[in-house]
Amino acid sequence: MRRGFAFVETKDGPVSWFGANFWSASGGPRMWTRYDPELVRAELAVLREHGLTLTRSFFFWPDFMPEPDRIDENCAAAYADFLNAHVETGMRTVPTFLVGHMSGENFDPPWRGGRDLYRDVWLLDRQSWFVEQLTARYTDHPAVAGWLISNEMPIYGEPADRESVTAWAGLMVRSVRAGGGTQPVSIGDGAWGAEVTGTDNGFSVRDLASLTDFLGPHVYRMEDDRVRQHFGAAFICELTTTLGSPVVLEEFGLSSDFASDEHAAVYYRQVLHNSLLAGSTGWMAWNNTDFDELAGQDPYRHHPFELHFGLTTSRREPKPQLREMARFSETLTAIDVLGCEREPARAAMIVPEHLEGDIPISDGDDARFAFSTLRQAYSSAKLADLPIGLCRERDGIAEDCSLYLLPSAKQLTGPSTGRLEELAASGATVYLSYCHGTGSFQRGPWIAGLDRIFGVKHQLWYGQVDPIERDEVELTFRVDFGGLAAGTKLSLPVAGNQHSRARLPVRATDAEVVAVDQDGEPAVLRNRVGSGWTVLCTYPIEHMADWTPGANPDAAVGLYDALAEFAGVRRSVRVADPAVSADVLRHRDGRRFVFLTSQSPEPLRVTPEVTAGELTGLDDEKPVDTLELPPYEVRVLRMSGFDAV
């Protein structure tokens, strides 16, 4: 399954954007009425010195459009100087039009009068006029790299019906084109729609992808597991790339009030590298500077942690986050990211159609359940060094993978079930771990032919679950399975609610019992289907890990590693330590780059295993066998002497 990179396309060719969202310390959102040209140039200079080449900038709507038919000329002149400052500094910017929401508050132009942003015809006309007018003013300026329609409109305009939102978005994009804008354009909504989050807010990421030139996730996840935290933005990017558009991580970051300097640097390091490996080809950190002088100004007055999201202090001193940005910029240059692509996926994780939120007569809990389970399973797959790709059921099951994963899956459509059975018969391995889901709606397996496909006879009672009473489950392997020898034990923390904290009782018919639980009941079974296999786990191991704080690396890492070996999944690089993930990027000139990412709080000494060739330093030919990885470190190596075919 292809997992190539998609870059934002411009008239000069593909680009990889790298920068920060920008407000000047002179005023935050009010910077245009307190514009300080010397300060702006100094703020841009420190970003440029650290490898950033782009900003995302904002037309603060109440100030730029004080009346429904007038643009404030002082603000417009300040923005023109702001563009000139970018050219002087060697940078570009992506202007954002409808900026009513910012950092914890919604700010209306005084004339809006509560009108609906998506459905009120007069207000739609005024938005369109504003977008077209500003595009016409600035589109020919060399500093303009692209356009964004809004800033987190699902918060400012609130969720709405899909048809109205999509029509509004289409009208705004056409207004950019009517104003002469030829640069790439997107919505600025955060990619928070059902296809990515499992929650329907009307902003269909699938619909918006058809209207725009790139998709821009905004990710500020807060997890109870550090590994999930470090892979959180990457998973969102990976899920977004499945819709076929270039993905720019449009907002990410943290307040220094929420993390120490050391830990803030770790977070930036992990998010940047992991999102690259997940298919992101652009990054805009939130944000350029702290705002200590604005503590009495809304929105910072009531959201004071928003004062300290900066890459620099309010005195323009680089914070550790900015140094991580600089380091990552050097990596992008060293590997020539525009010439790179990801290795094809040899293992596919199925994204159920039910995640997309528009299945008739279904429970919204099931969509959110699918999202959280997949997110946890993605972390486990990464730590098992699987060349994993997410495969949307709605778009068809990829046919060229050796392993298909359905982690803690409650629901799958009928055609997909049949297709996966066919793929198993053709030589693939299909893995399912069972879960009832977290809701009470139609509690049971929505997977047609489960007994036949997996060679079992389930023993369910209608409307009932078989609760797991213990706090921990131990699986013991009765036979060798992949790299797991007979006698190996895997311990699983038990978690879930009254619906999901349950196992699937089965007895084997055609299947072979591979592992049993502490009561001797079948826990993992394999069934021969044609020239391939199906593998059933009767415990929702991914869901239980998802509900367990600090679960990772979890037992699924060992099971996924064994599944990969059992299915014959070729892994170019593998690290035995489950706290380290290994990924490979390929350059079109034949070079291969290996990324080793530690999730350990302690230093590690690791010896990567390669299927061909040898590892060397990124900038030299000195062989690398065993290497030291500091806590949460990322190392980039070269792979040489391999068969490029």
Mean pLDDT, all residues of the chain: 96
The C-alpha atoms of residue 239 and residue 235 are separated, in whole angstroms, by 6
Neighbours of 400 (CB within 10 A): 12
For domain 9-230+250-272+282-339, the CATH class is alpha beta
Neighbours of 209 (CB within 10 A): 21
- Looking at residue 644, its pLDDT comes to 45
- Looking at residue 640, its pLDDT comes to 85
The C-alpha atoms of residue 106 and residue 492 are separated, in whole angstroms, by 45
Please, are residues 168 and 124 in contact by the beta-carbon 8 Å criterion? yes
Please, are residues 227 and 215 in contact by the beta-carbon 8 Å criterion? no
The C-alpha atoms of residue 517 and residue 538 are separated, in whole angstroms, by 10
- Work out the average pLDDT over 625-634: 96
Specify the CATH number for 347-567; select among 2.40.30.10, 3.40.630.30, 1.20.950.20, 3.40.50.880. Answer: 3.40.50.880
- Looking at residue 443, its pLDDT comes to 87
As annotated, the residues of the chain forming the CATH 3.20.20.80 domain(s) are 9-230+250-272+282-339
Angle between helices 261-277 and 320-335 (to 10 degrees): 30
Nearest to 523 by CA among 488, 473, 566, 565: 473
- Work out the average pLDDT over 447-476: 96
Taking the alpha carbons of 101, 240, 139, 336 in that order, is the dihedral positive or negative? positive
Q: For 25-44, how does the pLDDT look when each residue is reduced to its tens digit (9 = 90+)?
A: 999 999 999 999 999 999 99
pLDDT band at 621 (very low <50, low <70, confident <90, very high): confident
Q: How far is CA 365 from CA 437, 439, 441, in A?
A: 8, 6, 9
Nearest to 395 by CA among 341, 435, 345, 348: 348
Tell me if residue 504 falls in helix, strand or coil.
coil
Q: Please say if the pLDDT value at position 643 is more than 70.
A: no
> Quick one: what percent of the chain has pLDDT higher than 90?
94
> Quick one: what percent of the chain has pLDDT higher than 70?
99
- Work out the average pLDDT over 409-425: 95
pLDDT band at 233 (very low <50, low <70, confident <90, very high): very high
* Contact partners, residue 133, CB within 8 Å, separation at least 6: 71, 179
Q: For 295-338, how does the pLDDT look when each residue is reduced to its tens digit (9 = 90+)?
A: 999 999 999 999 999 999 999 999 999 999 999 999 999 999 99
Query: Which pTM value belongs to this model?
Result: 0.97
What does 437-498 look like in DSSP terms, one character per residue?
A: -SS-TT-S-B-TTHHHHHTEEE-PPTT--EE--SSEEEEEESS-BTTBPTT-EEEEE----T
Q: Which two tokens stand for residue 159?
A: 């969720």
The C-alpha atoms of residue 72 and residue 61 are separated, in whole angstroms, by 10
Q: For 548-605, how does the pLDDT look when each residue is reduced to its tens digit (9 = 90+)?
A: 999 999 999 999 999 999 999 999 999 999 999 999 999 999 999 999 999 999 999 9
Beta strands in 22-100 (DSSP E): 54-60, 92-99
What element of type H or E holds 567?
Answer: helix 555-567
As annotated, the residues of the chain forming the CATH 2.60.40.1180 domain(s) are 573-640
pLDDT band at 545 (very low <50, low <70, confident <90, very high): very high
- Overall fold of domain 573-640: Immunoglobulin-like (2.60.40)
Taking the alpha carbons of 616, 587, 10, 154 in that order, is the dihedral positive or negative? negative
Q: Please say if the pLDDT value at position 111 is more than 70.
A: yes
Tell me if residue 499 falls in helix, strand or coil.
coil
Q: For 477-486, how does the pLDDT look when each residue is reduced to its tens digit (9 = 90+)?
A: 999 999 999 9
- Work out the average pLDDT over 411-418: 94
As annotated, the residues of the chain forming the CATH 3.40.50.880 domain(s) are 347-567
- Work out the average pLDDT over 207-225: 97
The C-alpha atoms of residue 199 and residue 367 are separated, in whole angstroms, by 7
- Looking at residue 642, its pLDDT comes to 58
